[in-house]
Structures are given as structure tokens and as C-alpha cells.
Amino acid sequence: MDFQTAYRDLYPALHRFAVRLSGDPDVADDIVQEAFTRLIDQDLPLEQARPWLFVVVANLFRDRVRNRERRARLLAARPPQAEAPEAPDAALERAERVRQVRRALDGLSERDRRMLLMREEGFKYHEIAGALGVSPTSVGALVARALKRFARAYGTLDEADEPSS
């Protein structure tokens, strides 16, 4: 496999997946770079490198979350940081949109989140099944259930955020 070709072809989708998974472009940068670094040591054809990279990125993100949680526990006794200065309205609106989506995304299980994001990147059911360790015949039902969960979570958030009259 030509690494440059793999990087050029797979980076955009992989980075998008990582951003959506983490909600943090900087984290996405790091874990995607780490995944490609690990790819160098693999001898995989391009078609196998694609699902392999997505699994590695998801695992790297999971490890980060665990480390973050561990660190949060250690810092729990510390006082909270001061709030950032108020941003302009447009920035606040964007931030609010992101926050709404992230709350709905984070409300999904890790498996559901990875499954929907991989589906969004065009993975076939058998590839998703392979990456998540589930039966290919169960993916349709799992996707449908996860999408409904997301819709409910997002809809609930919308209703909750509407100003009361």
C-alpha cells in the first residue's frame, strides 16, 4: 500500500469521523495522526486500511476519554476554572448548536455512536459489524434503534431549550 495515497484518500473522512466522535478538532488531529503513524507499521491493502484506521481512531478516542476521566477524578478537589469572557452572539449560537448535537451524540452508547458515524462515512453493514464485533444481520436493527434514540434525544433537547411563555 502506498502510504501517501492512503493518507490522501482516507484522511478527510477519518478526520471528520474523529471530530464527530470527540467534538474536539484538536483531539481529532492528534488521534488521526497517531492512527496514520500506526498504519505505517501495518502491511495492509487500502481497502483493509480504511476500516482498520476507523477502528484505531475509535479506540484511541476511547483511551483518551478514559484518561480524561481519570484526570478529572484526580482534579475533582480543585476549584472550577473561571468562565471564559462572553463571546459574540454568532459564536455563542454556533457553540450552542454544537452543544446540542454533542449532548445528543454523547447520550448514545459508544457502540451506537461509532456505528452511526461509520454508517455516515459510507461503511457497509458487514464492515460496521466487523469493526464493532456484532453480527452483520443485526446492524440494520441496531442502526434503526440508534437513529431513533438520537432523534428522541435531539428532539427532547430542542423542547427543553425552548423558552417558556
Partner 1 sequence: MNHLADAELQAWIDEELDPRDRTRVADHLASCGDCRQGLGELRAAADLFRDSLVLHDEGLGRATGDLQTRARGRIPRWVGRAAALTLLLGGAAVAAIVPGSPLRSLWFGESADSALVPPTDVGSTDSSLPAGASISVRPSDGALRVRVRDFPAGTRIRITPADGQVGVASLPDGEANARFVVAAGMLEVVGPGRDAAPASGDGVILQLPRELRSGVVEVDGDIVARVSGGRIVAQRQVSASGDGGVVIEVGG
DSSP string, 58-123: HHHHHHHHHHHHHHHHHTTTSPPPPPPPPPPHHHHHHHHHHHHHHHHHHTS-HHHHHHHHHHHTT-
Radius of gyration of the CA atoms of the chain, in A: 18
Q: Which of 39, 54, 125, 132 binds partner 1 (CB under 8 A)?
A: 125
Question: Which of 10-18, 34-42, 52-60, 79-87 is the region at the interface with partner 1 (rule: CB under 8 A)?
Answer: 10-18
Nearer to partner 1 (CB atom), residue 42 or residue 154:
154
Instruction: Answer yes or no whether residue 147 interacts with partner 1 by CB under 8 A.
Output: yes
Question: How far is it, in rounded angstroms, from Cα 149 to Cα 63?
Answer: 25
Instruction: Answer yes or no whether residue 113 interacts with partner 1 by CB under 8 A.
Output: no
Instruction: Answer yes or no whether residue 154 interacts with partner 1 by CB under 8 A.
Output: yes
Instruction: Answer yes or no whether residue 148 interacts with partner 1 by CB under 8 A.
Output: yes
Q: What residues numbered 70-99 form the site for partner 1, per CB under 8 A? A: 94-95, 97-98
Instruction: Answer yes or no whether residue 34 interacts with partner 1 by CB under 8 A.
Output: no
Question: How far is it, in rounded angstroms, from Cα 29 to Cα 51?
Answer: 18
Instruction: Answer yes or no whether residue 101 interacts with partner 1 by CB under 8 A.
Output: yes
